[in-house]
A and B are shown apart, each in its own frame.
Chain A
């Protein structure tokens, strides 16, 4: 089955700097890659997603890039703010059932 690896597990950045989280997936048939943000004790919330027919997608300070050949995708957060502190999860899906395989998560801490 699909396996998604996520790095790093923790990331500490200064406010205003950029944060990058990387995920690799094993199944070349995967075609949908969402990113979720989860604050402590709360629900995961979708922040951005990308499909395999697109190489890059941007939404204000957040961008995701996809390299299908290398089977990896990355989340980029620019001009980080304290409210960006949370756990971020990547996921991959390969079939019409919509089953998602999640990475283990990255704890991002933005220090003022």
Chain B
């Protein structure tokens, strides 16, 4: 969907480095989500946020951190504690509750 922008499209991380993935939406959605996708697998929830200045851990939060200082922005930091960060990262947003989630184009993170 054109309303969710993820950047960069490709990102490389060096050993011991933290990297931050950007996610911006102009859909006026309160809820935002970060997923990780590994080859041949489904999407796994890393973090989610229902409102500004509040967020919750998903199923695989270890080694990741987020912030939600603005409604339209939900950046994800992959820390050096995440030992296997190579994956496709997808950001999504929705109206809170059981509503369709709309995804960005994703960021592909690799290790140098």
| Residues on A facing B (Cβ under 8 Å) | 1, 4, 6, 31-32, 34, 42-46, 49, 51, 89, 93, 96-100, 102-105
Contact = CB atoms under 8 A, between A and B. Distances in A.
B97 A98 contact: yes
B96 A104 contact: no
Interface of B: 1, 31, 33, 40-45, 48, 50, 56, 58-59, 90, 94, 96-106
B109 to A, nearest CB: 14
Contacts, number: 64
A89 B97 contact: no
A105 B41 CA distance: 7
Contacts of A45: 103
Given A34-B100, A43-B103, A44-B103, A99 B58 contact: yes
Contacts of A51: 98
